[in-house]
A and B are shown apart, each in its own frame.
Chain A
Amino acid sequence: NAGVMQNPRHLVRRRGQEARLRCSPMKGHSHVYWYRQLPEEGLKFMVYLQKENIIDESGMPKERFSAEFPKEGPSILRIQQVVRGDSAAYFCASSPPSSNEKLFFGSGTQLSVL
């Protein structure tokens, strides 16, 4: 049983470029969550998605950030025109259809903006 898979593990971008982070949930899981973590900080909720639907995006910045979870394929967190402040670890988590409480996390993508 593969866990939550995220790629890439490390992503380096220059200011103004786009960053695309991918997340494949655990098999059988239909809920996906994205969290951001700064060094020495906790995880901050960004967005909650189900297949083809954004359920809660209250934690997403109003500009440059978007997320999707298509019918086929992984969930994508997209950051346009990255700035240095976007540098962080981005974690994806998934949960089964029956619960949105116990989340299973991936290993994260460390985004570094030069």
Chain B
Amino acid sequence: GESVGLHLPTLSVQEGDNSIINCAYSNSASDYFIWYKQESGKGPQFIIDIRSNMDKRQGQRVTVLLNKTVKHLSLQIAATQPGDSAVYFCAEGGGGADGLTFGKGTHLIIQP
């Protein structure tokens, strides 16, 4: 079946560097995409979302890029901080399904 997946399970970056977390999706009917951050022992926390009629959206220190041609989504975090350590999930919505379909997640590790 169709699903949302991630390229790398773990990403290690130096504090202060920029982080890029990637996500591939396969449901071409999905029209809404969202990134969540999940810290250990906590529920997913909304970071940023984007609709399929856009290819870029910026938030505070975060940018989401959407490439519909290759069905690719990325999350860029500028000047990564220790508090950014978490598992990051992309999820897709719309496409006829209720709720969101989640990928497995990427564990972001910040090195001092």
Q: Is B25 an interface residue (CB 8 A)?
A: no
A105–B105 contact, CB under 8 A?
A: no
Q: Which residue of B lies closest to A92 (CB)?
A: B43
B32–A43 contact, CB under 8 A?
A: no
Q: Which residue of B lies closest to A104 (CB)?
A: B46
Minimum CB–CB distance for A63 against chain B, Å: 22
A42–B45 contact, CB under 8 A?
A: no
From A71-79, A80-88, A95-103, give the one contacting chain B: A95-103
Q: Which residue of B lies closest to A106 (CB)?
A: B43
For B, the interface residue count at a CB cutoff of 8 angstroms equals 23
The interface residues of chain B, by DSSP majority, are classed as: strand
A-B pairs with beta carbons under 8 A, tally: 58
B43–A42 contact, CB under 8 A?
A: no
- Chain B hits for A4, CB < 8 A: 43
Q: Is A69 an interface residue (CB 8 A)?
A: no
- Chain B hits for A101, CB < 8 A: 32, 34, 49, 93-94, 100
- Chain A hits for B98, CB < 8 A: 33, 45, 48, 55-56, 100
Instruction: Mark interface residues in A4-17 (1 if CB within 8 Å of B CB, else 0).
Output: 10100000000000
Minimum CB–CB distance for B9 against chain A, Å: 8
**A107-B43, A108-B43 known; A43+B102 contact, CB < 8 A:** yes
What is the CA–CA distance of A106 and B41 in the complex, to the nearest angstrom?
A: 11
What is the CA–CA distance of A35 and B65 in the complex, to the nearest angstrom?
A: 26
Q: Which residue of B lies closest to A48 (CB)?
A: B98
Q: Which residue of A lies closest to B42 (CB)?
A: A107
Instruction: Mark interface residues in B50-79 (1 if CB within 8 Å of A CB, else 0).
Output: 000000000000000000000000000000
**A48-B99, A105-B45 known; A42+B32 contact, CB < 8 A:** no
- Chain A hits for B93, CB < 8 A: 100-101
Instruction: Mark interface residues in A37-66 (1 if CB within 8 Å of B CB, else 0).
Output: 000111111001000000110000000000
Chain B interface (Cβ < 8 Å from any Cβ of A): 4, 32, 34, 36, 41-46, 49, 89, 91, 93-94, 98-105
Chain A interface (Cβ < 8 Å from any Cβ of B): 4, 6, 33, 35, 40-45, 48, 55-56, 91, 93, 100-108
